[in-house]
Each structure stands twice: as structure tokens, then as C-alpha cells.
């Protein structure tokens, strides 16, 4: 049994897509076991599947401080991590790598990633596509998962290209409409 690190009531299992997480019915905080945050993020918005909310990937963006709560799994003292310039705070267990999020923090993570997604330029997507292509061979996820990430980046790059170059979109559309082989 897992207990809420804030309220000390038993956590109940709930689903985010097909990912089983543990929620406190009192404070609405959510416990994510190792890798469940990534899986839940991918289930929530497929366009974000290639974007990582990896709390150690960009250590220069984080501020780590001791937390007042213990891990509901292994009872280790967690660490509070402030994510970049956002208002997102996660409590991370360095022992079992689980994550505790307060109510609405998961939504803030999704919103932050969606904002990052729409803020990227075409050149950012070119760089991201190169990185995702490398990850097909050497990435931490399965080949299929990395391939899907790569295809998502290419699709996002296409959208960004047309947003930044509306005349190109109009030209392509005009050519397609005049194609006699339709």
C-alpha cells in the first residue's frame, strides 16, 4: 500500500490513458512510479511523445532543494525540483525515481510542453529531427517508439514550415488542385 506523502491517506489507483498511477483522493496529488510520467505524458498528447520532460536532461534549468515529504514507495526523503522558469515543482525520489506531483502539476507540465512545441522554429525542428533520427538507433526507448517520435517531429516540422511560409502552402495547394491525375 502507498500512502499520500502530504495527507498520509491511502493512495488509490487511477488511470491516465492506460497508465496506472496513484492518486490521493483528499489533496488530488499523484504519484508516478519510474517512467510513468513519460508514459502518461505520451498518452495525454501524442504530439508531445518526442518531447522529454526528463528531469535530469537539462540540469542547468533545474533548482534542487530538499523536500519535506518522503517517498510513498521506499520512504526515502524526496527532493523538490523547480523546472526552469516555469512554476512547475516536482518531488523526486532519488532512490526509486518516482515522482510526486501536486494537484494540477501534471496539467502544467503538459501545458509547458505544448507551449514549447508551438514556440519552436523550423530550424529548431530540423535540429530535433536529427536528434530523433539518432535516437532511432541509440535511443532509450524501443525502435518502434523512437520511430514514432521521429515521424511526429517530421510532421511538426512540416506544420511549422507552412506556418512560417504561407505562400509555399498556397503554391503547393494550387499545384495539387490543378493536377490532372487526381
Each residue's pLDDT tens digit, 102-140: 999 999 989 988 988 999 999 999 999 999 999 999 988
Cell for 145? 517508439
Per-residue pLDDT, 99:
94
8 Å CB contact between 118 and 125: no
pTM for the model stands at 0.82
For the chain, the average pLDDT equals 89
3-state class of 91 per DSSP? strand
Cell for 28? 488530488
Q: What are the average pLDDT values for consecutive 10-residue runs of the chain, which has 182 residues?
A: 94 95 97 94 90 65 84 94 78 93 93 90 95 91 92 94 89 83 68
3-state class of 10 per DSSP? strand
**Euclidean distance between CA atoms 16 and 109, whole angstroms:** 14
In the chain, what are the domain boundaries? 12-119, 122-177
Amino acid at each position: 500500500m502507498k500512502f499520500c506523502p502530504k495527507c498520509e491517506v491511502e493512495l488509490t489507483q487511477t488511470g491516465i490513458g492506460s497508465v496506472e498511477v496513484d492518486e490521493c483522493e483528499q489533496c488530488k496529488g499523484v504519484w508516478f512510479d519510474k517512467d510513468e510520467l513519460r508514459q502518461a505524458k505520451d498518452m495525454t498528447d501524442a504530439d508531445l511523445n518526442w518531447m522529454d520532460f526528463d528531469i535530469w536532461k537539462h540540469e542547468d534549468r533545474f533548482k534542487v532543494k530538499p523536500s519535506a515529504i518522503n517517498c510513498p514507495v521506499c520512504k526515502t526523503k524526496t527532493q523538490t525540483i523547480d523546472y526552469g522558469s516555469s512554476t512547475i515543482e516536482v518531488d523526486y525520489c532519488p532512490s526509486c525515481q518516482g515522482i510526486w506531483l501536486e494537484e494540477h502539476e501534471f496539467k502544467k507540465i503538459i501545458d509547458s510542453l505544448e507551449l514549447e512545441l508551438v514556440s519552436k522554429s523550423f530550424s529548431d525542428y530540423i535540429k530535433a529531427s536529427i536528434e530523433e533520427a539518432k535516437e532511432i538507433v541509440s535511443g532509450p526507448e524501443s525502435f518502434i517508439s523512437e520511430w514514432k517520435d521521429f515521424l511526429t517531429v517530421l510532421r511538426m516540422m512540416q506544420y511549422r514550415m507552412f506556418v512560417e511560409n504561407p505562400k509555399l502552402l498556397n503554391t503547393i495547394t494550387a499545384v495539387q488542385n490543378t493536377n490532372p491525375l487526381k
